[in-house]
Amino acid sequence: MAWTWRFEKADGTEVQPSVQPEEFTTQGDAESWVGEVWKDLLDGGADQVVLFDGDTKIYGPMSLHGDQEADAPS
């Protein structure tokens, strides 16, 4: 099975990612990729992601916003 990401707005509506993913052969590869491009995905309009192994949902939605507010200057 291939590991894939679903990209969503905060309300769960699916959106097209600003960075096109590949189909990953391992969960670790999928997670590494999203860890590298999450800021680009966020800037492109995705608020959260959901990880699938084939048709099976593994986890999510996982927010791409993280602690962004905590990093903002006061």
With contact defined as beta carbons under 8 Å apart, do 46 and 64 qualify?
A: yes
- Residue 67: the pLDDT is 64
Q: Is 72 domain-assigned?
A: no
Q: Is 11 domain-assigned?
A: yes
Q: Provide the percentage of residues in the chain whose pLDDT is more than 90.
A: 84
42 pLDDT more than 90: yes
Q: Is 27 domain-assigned?
A: yes
Average pLDDT, the chain: 90
- Residue 25: the pLDDT is 96
Domain that holds residue 37: 3-67
Bridge partners for 62 per DSSP: 49
32-58 average pLDDT score: 96
Q: Is 73 domain-assigned?
A: no
What gap in Å lies between CA 18 and CA 6, rounded to an integer?
12
Q: Is 21 domain-assigned?
A: yes
11-27 average pLDDT score: 94
- Residue 33: the pLDDT is 96
